[in-house]
Structure 1
Amino acid sequence: MPSVPNRTLPPLNPLKAFEAAARHNSLTLAAEELNVSQVAVSRQVRVLEDYMGVTLFRRLNRGIELTREGILLFKGIGQAFQDIEDATKTVSRRGQRNILAIQSYVTFSRGWLMPRLGDFHKAQPRIEVRLSSSPEPADFDTDNLDAAIRGGDGNWPGLHAEKLADMELIPVCSPRFLAEHPLDRIEDLAKVKLLHSMARPRDWSSWLTSVGAGFAPNNRLLFENSALAYEGALMDLGVAIANRHFVQTQLRAGTLVAPFEQGCRTGESYYLTWPKDEPPSSPLLKFLDWIRIHFAPDEAGGAGEAPEPAPEPASELAPDQPLEEVSPPSRSGFST
């Protein structure tokens, strides 16, 4: 953190008394607000005037009036007092309510986090979780967040990034689809509809390349995000390319099957991120302890369960093959 020069500030109690008197244009009303006597307010204002070497109020028969110096001072400190009040209310409210605000991708939330939030609530019933979603990176300066799920390489200036899981792709489809369209060899995928996420249109190509397939994914059905592609697979529409972590529940339940076990690591991972320049809140520390326990077995072989879908990084649509669109493209970034 850069060094901050020592501040030269006037005594704060006299400054507070002056601000209240100037705002009300009355020593009496300022005294009522501060729950002190009018004499005490007048005394504090004189202390400030002596400190600054100027007269801040003209004392009139029927009240007070700001001098030019008083007007300048009041303009300068009015917003500062409001900012202090607003910041104090925000911090106090979050501390009192034990709030944990997290931003995630829709598919990560649906595929991994939401199925486990009940477990977290049982472990930490006093923590109020506020879960929001966006395909864009979290803005910790404006969004009032404690932490955010982010996909990539984990190298983001100003952020702590704790790795949760690598992205690993596998093909999945429904048992009924597999029965009607036997997939004995990888080349059989060229005969069926392949379900794509518009946020990650190259995932199928990456997987096919990794297993040495000699064909391109031409027969495509395109969805807005991975969540819809996974649902399409459940509805017998074709074979989706899925993040292994986000279809564990369906695979165990048998509602989805993996016709080929070969996985493809994308080189990207999911991370829990939070700002480096402020200590993590107590709710975030408890969440970190909890999520570390739940992700460790997933990495070791998938002990955690998760229904539904996952997020993914943005890339542009390949212009080569025609696409059969099911829903409009996402704005940008990971699937929403």
Structure 2
Amino acid sequence: MARRDSLPPLNPTRAFEATGRLLSISKAAEELSVTPAAVSRQVRALEDFLKAPLFERVRGGLVLTAVGARYLSDLMPLFATLRAATDAVISGSPGGNVLRIRSPATFAVRWLIPRLASFHRLNQNIDVQLTTSSAPLNFAQEDIDAGIQLGNGDWPGMNTQRLIPNELVPVAAPSLAVKRPKQLDRQTLLHSLARLDDWSLWLKAAGLTRINAQRGMRYETSLLAYQAAIEGHGVAIAQKALVEKELADGTLAVPFGPTLDRGAYTYYFAWPAGKRQSAALRAFREWLATVVRG
């Protein structure tokens, strides 16, 4: 049997990236200047190519499957690089007014990307090249201008700007019918490998010290853990600001409290200390401050 080309068809992949990023076929169609029917066909073509479903249709819209969420997080930095390279050729100034930013995938997908369109509307001469990784920022070894990192914000050689509150809550699909904290001992706990302490800290705050905080399923990122919760595979511990959309549309629910505020330990925008800031970086920092203030 001949080996199938492992490169996916470009137009269907582009349609999936836009749909997954916006979680809307109609918005993706508007961005790509095609009809919603064309976007749907392209997404189905990619699902056929991959032999895997990428979305589930639910009341109120679309949700990514676990496969779809992982594929989207891998594709986003590739499309960002492709856009930046193309813009550089068109503008005739390679590496021109490009702002290179790295972010953890969960924060990028669930908070930053849905808001980036407003930055582009205000700063049409600045191209943001976004890549994703949960590795610690290292400006001496990376070709990036700034980044987003989870922690206490006190990192040598970096200036930082606090972003969103780190309020931890349990979240589950409404169909799971979890109503009381003590029911957690019969539920699968969903963990992120990037935030393995979250369940332990929340259970301690809730006074549920007899529940084993280490059991359950582990996922590479919170993005995948949240997706597993949406699909009803268990209860995830979530940073509330990153699941606002799902809580609003009823895809996820907070079945009970308490809310644990981790205070200074949250996501920060960081850039090299002692280095002259570009106009693009200053503009992005000011925009972030405005968005965070609401």
Tell me, yes or no, whether TM beats 0.5: yes
Aligned to 1:194: 189
The separation in 2 between residues aligned to 1:210 and 1:152, in whole angstroms, is 20
Instruction: Say which structure, 1 or 2, has more relative contact order (CA 8 Å, 6+ apart).
Output: 1
The separation in 2 between residues aligned to 1:126 and 1:168, in whole angstroms, is 35
Give the superposition deviation at 1:93: 4.4
Aligned to 1:270: 267
SS of aligned partner of 1:280: coil
Please say if 1:288 is aligned against 2:285. yes
Please say if 1:259 is aligned against 2:255. yes
Written as runs of structure 1 = structure 2, the 5 A alignment for 1:1-336 is 93-94=94-95, 97-178=96-177, 182-183=178-179, 185-217=180-212, 219-267=215-263, 268-297=265-294
What is the CA deviation profile of residues 93-123 of structure 1, one whole-angstrom value per residue up to 9, with x for unaligned ones? Answer: 44xx311110111111111111111221122
Moved over 4 A (4+): none
C-alpha change, 1:105 and 1:177, in structure 2 (3 Å) is: same
SS of aligned partner of 1:165: coil
What is the CA deviation profile of residues 145-195 of structure 1, one whole-angstrom value per residue up to 9, with x for unaligned ones? Answer: 1111112111112111111123221100111222xxx41x21111121111
SS of aligned partner of 1:108: helix
The separation in 2 between residues aligned to 1:278 and 1:234, in whole angstroms, is 43
What is the CA deviation profile of residues 216-255 of structure 1, one whole-angstrom value per residue up to 9, with x for unaligned ones? Answer: 2365122222111100011011111011110011111111
The separation in 1 between residues aligned to 2:211 and 2:285, in whole angstroms, is 41
The structure with the larger Rg is 1
Query: What residue identity is the alignment partner of 1:131?
Result: L
Query: What residue identity is the alignment partner of 1:196?
Result: H
Query: What residue identity is the alignment partner of 2:163?
Result: L
Query: What residue identity is the alignment partner of 2:143?
Result: N
C-alpha contact 2:134 2:194 (8 A) present in aligned 1: no
The separation in 2 between residues aligned to 1:280 and 1:171, in whole angstroms, is 39
Query: What residue identity is the alignment partner of 1:134?
Result: S
TM-score (norm 2): 0.64
What is the CA deviation profile of residues 243-290 of structure 1, one whole-angstrom value per residue up to 9, with x for unaligned ones? Answer: 111001111111111111421123412111111121211111111111
- Show structure 2 runs of 5+ residues with no match: 1-92
The separation in 1 between residues aligned to 2:150 and 2:218, in whole angstroms, is 22
SS of aligned partner of 1:199: helix
Query: What residue identity is the alignment partner of 1:110?
Result: V
Query: What residue identity is the alignment partner of 1:257?
Result: A
C-alpha contact 1:169 1:207 (8 A) present in aligned 2: yes
TM-score (norm 1): 0.56
Give the superposition deviation at 1:139: 2.2
Count of paired positions: 200
% same residue:
38
The separation in 2 between residues aligned to 1:139 and 1:223, in whole angstroms, is 24
The separation in 1 between residues aligned to 2:206 and 2:231, in whole angstroms, is 26
Choose 229-238 or 167-176, whichever is displaced more.
167-176
C-alpha change, 1:214 and 1:154, in structure 2 (3 Å) is: closer
The separation in 2 between residues aligned to 1:284 and 1:213, in whole angstroms, is 45
The separation in 1 between residues aligned to 2:206 and 2:228, in whole angstroms, is 24
